[in-house]
Structure 1
Amino acid sequence: MTEVLAPLPGRAVPLADVPDPVFAGLVVGAGLAVEPEDGATEVEAVSPVAGRVMKVHPHAFVVLDEGGAGVLVHLGIDTVRMDGRGFTVHVADGDEVERGARMITFDPTAVRSAGYSAVCPVVVMQSTADSIGSAVPAGSTVAPGRPLFTWSPPAAP
């Protein structure tokens, strides 16, 4: 079982409520999302698991944990269109990171001002809804580095 930590402060949101059909439909995988507080301008997103940075963009990153699970954190919806404005990357592809390591600093107010949602999906890639457990209740306030949900890989056949 993998404990996935909240990568940023905010309010827990079910993926079904994320305004993007890819995340809401669990196409990428299952998990939860975090809505940053209104008025937040400099939020540090931290690694939800220990492992290797498989890919980092200004608006998203994937960390592969020691068990082989890829955890994606996407900072806002459609924020790739911001071309990195409002985002500062602190790691590189291939870096080994601890849980809670600073990954990207971003400005949710700038995201919202640009017309995008600042909600941040946190997804175990290629997972299913029934593999997620011990999730914080929707609407709960979460803090970075605190448990967000657990993930269990499917049982071997």
Structure 2
Amino acid sequence: MMKLFQRKHQIKLVAPVNGMYVDLRQAGETKVQSGFAIEPMEGEIHAPLAGTVTQLTKQSITLSADFGCEYVVQLGQPVADLDDQLFDWHVAVGDQLSVNESLAMLDVNAIHAADASAIVSCGLSNQAADDVEVEKTGLVSQGDQLATLKVRG
């Protein structure tokens, strides 16, 4: 019964890079539950929301945000044989990030030359939010408000 009166919170998400919006299902992303993806026009990637870096891999970062949300930013689709030099992270585990803070450089041209996808996928990796409501599609600019997380809390 208490869940009936549970307040919903919202976390605004911004585009982490300049590019073209892509639906996650079309991007083939399976690591995140709901969110969005962008085919980047350039390689500088920024934080789509504020949070603490809790995990960092060759091609992805996990941010712990308000209200227990865990949010993943995946650089390119996972390809085991891509050179580590194509992904240059500017952050480390434990860093506190502000929205729009620089996360990484992605060598978009080299990734395309390797016949791989440079799509940047962003989405929830846990059940802390009910949904990601996408508010803007098409061509997006880094920093544009792109979506809202609907969070239980």
Q: How does the TM-score come out when normalised to structure 1?
A: 0.82
* Match in the other structure for 2:142: 144
* Match in the other structure for 2:68: 68
Provide runs of 4+ in structure 1 moved above 2 Å: 126-130
Q: Structure 2 counterpart of 1:18, which letter? A: A
Residue ranges of structure 2 left out of the alignment (5+ in a row):
1-9
Q: Structure 1 counterpart of 2:13, which letter? A: V
Q: Distance in 1 between matches of 2:130 and 2:97?
A: 28
> Quick check: 1:32 aligned with 2:36?
yes
* Match in the other structure for 1:91: 91
Between structures 1 and 2, the one with greater strand share = 2
- Following superposition, the deviation at residue 88 of structure 1 comes to 1.1
Aligned residues: 144
Name which one, 1 or 2, has greater alpha-carbon Rg.
2
- Following superposition, the deviation at residue 127 of structure 1 comes to 4.8
* Match in the other structure for 1:5: 14
Contact 1:63 1:72 in 2 (8 A): yes
Identity of aligned residues (%): 26
* Match in the other structure for 2:57: 57
The RMSD of aligned alpha carbons is 2.1
Q: Structure 2 counterpart of 1:71, which letter? A: Y
Give the SS at the match of 1:112: helix
What whole-Å deviation, never above 9, does each CA across 1:84-133 have from its counterpart, x for those lacking one?
Answer: 12111111001001111111111111111112111111112235996122
Contact 1:48 1:100 in 2 (8 A): yes
* Match in the other structure for 2:24: 15
